[in-house]
Structure 1
């Protein structure tokens, strides 16, 4: 497994193909590329195949958030997500805040993440 920190080679077409294997969506290629350019992308590759990605959005001083942590279903429970979290912790200048999907909390707690504030959202219609 090869891990890349601040993966500048990650492009929207490959990312969209990867994301659609985890959760189906209708992703705009230009907006996806713009989003990728604004985050620190920590990736995991098995050969040439993108199998895991953790994205961090940060102001570099006060706030950082993990926007997503995704691992292909066939690669889950093999330590890839845990390694991506370790690399995130080592390569961010801020604390990281993030939400968790229901049922995944034990994964984060096992990896030393502390439960924090309840999260809320404002949905854009």
Structure 2
């Protein structure tokens, strides 16, 4: 592991790279469906990635209009890089890109609910969803 982590905006990645981060991070995503993962990449309009050299080690994948809201679909960091501030830096870079005109919105995994208030997120009770069928 090198000591310098770099962050990139919309650097192209492929499904296998993202699957590797998802699998390592512990986040639950349909990693067995490579085509679906590729669509997740293709249709996001803001990707902030963290790199250790040429290795993708973290990602914040978003859909945003850059003027009112920014939905963070995924925030994942490889297990061996967690608790080093990479996730927080990814979110800070999202805030910079989305500007202060945009609300940053995400749905937390149950295991991460305690994390987000510590980095400036406010928990809200007014969200609704229609669950995925698969």
**2:123 is the alignment partner of 1:115:** yes
- SS of 2:17 mapped into structure 1: helix
Point out 4+ residue stretches in structure 1 off by more than 4 angstroms: none
Q: 1:6 aligns with which of 4, 7, 10?
A: 10
**Structure 2 contact 25–77 (Cα < 8 Å) conserved:** yes
User: Residue 56 of structure 2 is aligned with which of 50, 57, 76?
Assistant: 50
Name the CA distance, whole Å, in 2 between partners of 1:109 and 1:21. Answer: 24
SS at match of 1:91: helix
SS of residue matched to 2:121: coil
Q: Could you tell me how far 1:116 is from its partner in structure 2? A: 2.4
Gaps of 5+ in 1: none
Secondary structure in structure 2 of the residue aligned to 1:97:
strand
Per the normalisation by structure 2, the TM-score is 0.79
- The alpha-carbon deviation at position 103 of structure 1 amounts to 4.2
Query: Gaps (5+ residues) in structure 2?
Result: none
Matched, 1:34 2:36: no
Q: Considering only aligned residues, what root-mean-square deviation do their CA atoms show, in Å?
A: 2.0
TM-score (norm 1): 0.84
* Structure 1 counterpart of 2:110, from 77, 80, 102: 102
